Amino acid sequence: MGDLVNLRQARKQKARADKAATADANRLAFGRMKAEKLKTAAERQRAEKHIDGHKRDE
C-alpha cells in the first residue's frame, strides 16, 4: 500500500518551492550593484557592436 499524502500540505509545500524559485530569480536579476549592472550593459553593447560590424551590406 502506498504512503498517505496530505494534499493540503503538499499544495502548500509546492507553493513555497515556487515562491523560493521566484525569489532566487529575482535575486539574480535585481540584487546586483550598480557597477555590475553597468559592466553587464557595456559587455552586451560591445558584443552587439562586434556582431553588427561583421554583417554584410546588401
Residue 17, pLDDT score: 98
Statement: residue 58 has pLDDT above 80: no
Question: pLDDT digit string (tens) for 27-53?
Answer: 988 888 999 989 999 999 999 999 988
What confidence score (pLDDT) does residue 28 get?
86
What is the structure's pLDDT at 24?
95
pLDDT tens for 1-23 read 789 999 999 999 999 999 999 99
All residues at 6 or more sequence positions from 40 whose CB lies less than 8 Å from its CB, including other chains: 32
pTM: predicted TM-score of the whole model, two decimal places: 0.52
